Amino acid sequence: MPEETTKTKKESNYGAKDIYVLEGLDPVRKRPGMYIGSTGIDGLHHLIWEVVDNSLDEAMGGYATEIEVSLLPEGRVSVKDDGRGIPVETHKQTGKSALETVMTTLHAGGKFGGESYKVAAGLHGVGVSVVNALSTYLKAEVCRDGAIYEQEYVRGKAKRALKKVGKCKGTGTTVTFEPDPEIFKDRKFDWNRILSHLRQQAYLTKGVKITINDKRNPVEIVGAKENDGHVLYPTHTFYFEGGIVSYVQYLNRHEDVRHSNIFYVNKEQDNILTEVAFQYTNDIQGHELSFANNVHTIEGGMHVTGFRTAITRTLNDYARKNNFLKEKDDNLTGEDIREGLTVIISVKLQEPQFEGQTKAKLGTTEARTVVESVVSSELADWLDRHPNDAKEILGKVILAAKARVAAKAARDTVIRKGALEGFTLPGKLADCSSKKAEESELFIVEGESAGGSSKQGRDRRTQAILPLKGKILNVEKARIDRMLSSQEIRSLVIALGTAIADEFNIDKLRYHKIVIMTDADVDGAHIRTLLLTLFFRYFKALIEGGYVYIAQPPLYRIQKGKEITYAYTEKQKIQILARLADAQENKKEKTEKKAKGKRSQDEKWEVTELGSDNNDESLEDETKISGISIQRYKGLGEMNPSQLWDTTMNPESRMLLRVDIEDAEEADKIFDILMGSEVLPRKRFIETHAKDVKNLDI
């Protein structure tokens, strides 16, 4: 009874006063992640995408031909278009100007009815108002009816009424905003990320010119643009008449293509415009990019499902009809069809239904039916008209089907032994005693010598060691059946516990930290790249989940007397030596009772270099410290167990770099260039970036 009385009393205190109503744009500032995905670097750039989407809506409607994005000093961004300009007359419902209504009200815009926008990238009409809410400053300028109208806002609220400030020709809108530091801790815009996104948008909206200017730090460079103030700054302009066909050519620029003619369809059906372009390459990996009203649907959706169904059924029908497949042969699977396929799927429709505010997946069911119908009919006709291309495509996918059967046999062989289920761990694995994945770590160590030191120096309860012998197979060039024939890779797959390919299950991951630990030399970097290629191609979910790390062993061991310090970079070494020099100077001055001053140039350091034939060039022309020894580590095997623990494995003192994928598409291309079979692109990449190499250990 006393408990019931207490409960009743607590409930009676809960009333209307406890219900909070967030008005205007307050909900956006209270929960920004609900509207832009996050307040990190992705959410910061999402502000630009939202404003650009409004300009693209004008372009898709045929009202705009040019969009200009400028990165300005003080962290501001300007987006300008030559569209119709946001209306400025008084809005009947709000009593404010239409411009202020759009800028300060959620669910306000020209995308909720009528004929203003047949298609639009905006989801719920919240885009520009959300940007306004999350900006410490925003200015909207509109050119309409021969006049320029202007209004400024602070954190979503108008500073003053809309006013006419001058005359102009034509029409258009310019939005300049500054992200709020209270919302975004990191406000540094990434030039390359913006270029990549806007290049993509230019491909998807053929005929529109998109210019990007970086006015943050004006510099004198070749090809820079000169403005009225005679200041140079980087600029890029994108304009593609070929649209997504040009996009496919761009994505396959480093690939060995299977057929010359690119399949392309652009057809409207049931008020949905379907645009698809694809081409096969001899690569094992495929590239599938999908868009709805120019929004990149990274998780796919109904339009992707419709395309996959159509291409799988149509190619199977063609293969049967033309005797590429016999009666006894099984049908080609979707996995077979998509191997080596580079495809762009773009749909434009009214009132798209996205799943989530960040529009990652299209949920409009009608899109599936329309895309499936359009691609099926058009592809069947295209194959009949291009028999040589059809032969090349069928040759590619049938080869993929044979490889799939061989790969399944290889996986089944391992599974039958119970290895991938974790029953038989590899003998070279020194496992940890803990069975809790969240506290367990797997160190993938280069070489047996380093593996031995690691096993002795580790924390046996939480740290497992898997030494690798030599360089593993380059999986960029190998199918999964050949990959699993490699003992080193098989040992790693077994140790992880997740299985691989179709059987992959991240819930069975045995370690939540997978640490790649290689020597700090060229061979070590090569082995690290081979391992990263393996993870990127076959265990991408582990990278995306934040489970993969790179260990940072020290480059130098610096000892003076009993004091031992480790330097992980050249810069750290110089800092440590400078500190030791200052300490010695202070001690000397104290002993000799001399005034503080600069050290005599006649003094010498007595430096003993251990493990290095040459004195470090950075020490030249410097004063010397007596009684100091510097050991340059050439490999992990040079460290004894205690040193390896102190510097690289101890959670309290080590440095680990987590492997992230900021741009999966760009990462995919880099792996193709660095690890693929084409020599020329790799040579060009090395020539381009050779100047960025600071220290080359040969």
Domains in the chain: boundaries: 26-238, 244-365, 437-553+657-692, 556-592+602-632
| pLDDT value at residue 570 | 85
Q: Show binding-site residues.
A: 446, 519, 521
pLDDT digits (tens, 9 = 90+) for 294-331: 888 988 999 999 999 999 999 999 999 999 998 888 99
Tokens of 518: 């290689």
pLDDT tens-digit map of 19-42: 343 446 777 888 887 888 788 998
pLDDT(153) > 50: yes
Which residue ranges make up the annotated binding site for Mg(2+)? 446, 519, 521
pLDDT reported for residue 111: 46
Superfamily of segment(s) 26-238: Histidine kinase-like ATPase, C-terminal domain (3.30.565.10)
DSSP states of 443-503: EEEESHHHHHHHHHHS-TTTEEEEEE-SPPP-GGGS-HHHHTT-HHHHHHHHHH-S--GGG
pLDDT single digits (tens) 48-90: 999 999 999 889 888 999 999 999 998 999 999 999 999 988 8
Distance CA 271, CA 688 (A): 47
Beta bridge mates, 225: 233
Q: What is the pLDDT of residues 637-657, one digit of tens each?
A: 788 899 899 889 999 988 898
Q: Return the active site residues.
A: 446, 519, 521, 523
pTM assigned to the model: 0.68
Least confident of 140-144, 296-300, 613-617: 613-617
Q: Give exposure, 319-330, as e/b (b: 16+ Cβ within 10 Å).
A: beeeebbeeeee
Average pLDDT of 593-610? 45
- Where b means 16+ CB within 10 Å and e means fewer, 503-522 reads ebeeeebbbbbbbbbbbbee
Lowest mean pLDDT of 412-426, 475-489, 578-592, name the range: 412-426
Q: Which CATH number does the domain 244-365 belong to among 3.30.230.10, 3.40.50.300, 3.30.710.10, 3.60.130.10?
A: 3.30.230.10
Q: What is the mean pLDDT of the chain?
A: 81
572, 578 contact by CB (below 8 A): no
What architecture does CATH give domain 437-553+657-692? 3-Layer(aba) Sandwich (3.40)
Domain 244-365 shares a fold with domain 437-553+657-692: no
Strand residue runs (E) in 198-333 = 209-214, 225-226, 232-233, 235-238, 263-269, 272-280, 287-292, 295-296
Lowest mean pLDDT among 23-37, 388-402, 509-523, 587-601: 587-601
Residue 1 has pLDDT above 80, yes or no: no
Please tell me the distance from the alpha carbon of residue 691 to that of residue 665, in angstroms, as a whole number: 25
| Model pLDDT for residues 158-213, shown as the tens digit of each residue | 999 999 999 999 999 999 999 999 999 999 999 999 999 999 999 999 889 999 99
Contact 237, 210 (CB under 8 A): yes
Predicted confidence (pLDDT) per residue in 91-130, tens digit: 887 788 889 888 988 765 554 344 445 555 543 345 788 9
pLDDT above 90: percentage of residues in the chain: 45
DSSP H or E segment with residue 334 = helix 334-338
Q: Are the C-beta atoms of residues 208 and 217 closer than 8 Å to each other?
A: no
